[in-house]
Amino acid sequence: MEFAVRPVAVVRNSRTEAIDDQWNSITSTIELLDGVPSTSLIGLDTFSHIELLFVADRASDVPPAPWSRRPRGNPEWPEVGIFAQRNKDRPNRLLSSIATIVNVRERAVVVTGLDAIDGTPVLDIKPVFTWSGPQGPLVTPQWSDDLGENYF
């Protein structure tokens, strides 16, 4: 079974390499592509955060990426499967991120905290509702907390 998707926007920012840390220091503009009407952003300015689905179009290790590995190649962290980590080298190169809205313009959304590089195709933009996050306690292994220490 195959699905076709098309980008609706593109990321514009100063980061040209997928460096793993300090994403909060980057301000990104999500620019709508031609054919996507500006009316698609009506009401988005009433939200504080958006979730973006995007493609790691320049990931180098796919296909086929290893189905398991040590996150960031760190020998102190356990080997875990691709579905137990969030790296860019994924089976379908699909990534998601929640970003903070700085402002909404006629054909763009300015955000911080988006871990996508300049030119990344955006497949979808969704508002984050108070009820759409995790339900109940969030449980994660220590290595993932260590990995994320300087991520944002």
Does the predicted TM-score (pTM) go above 0.95?
no
Question: Residue 23's pLDDT is what?
Answer: 64
In a domain, 3, yes or no: no
| pLDDT computed for residue 63 by the predictor | 55
In a domain, 4, yes or no: no
Task: Say if 104 falls within a structural domain.
Answer: yes
Q: Is 109 within the bounds of a domain?
A: yes
pLDDT (tens place) for every residue of the chain, 152 residues total: 888 999 999 999 998 877 766 666 789 999 999 999 999 999 999 999 999 999 988 876 665 667 888 988 899 999 999 899 888 778 888 999 999 999 999 999 999 999 999 999 999 999 999 998 888 888 988 988 888 777 66
CATH number of the domain at 42, please. Answer: 2.40.30.70
- Is 92 a domain residue? yes
Expressed as residue numbers, the domain containing 128 is 9-147
- Examine residue 90 and state whether it is found in any structural domain, yes or no: yes
The DSSP bridge pattern shows strands 80-81 and 108-112 to be unpaired
| Structural domain count, the chain | 1
Report yes or no: 82 and 90 within 8 Å, Cβ to Cβ.
Answer: yes
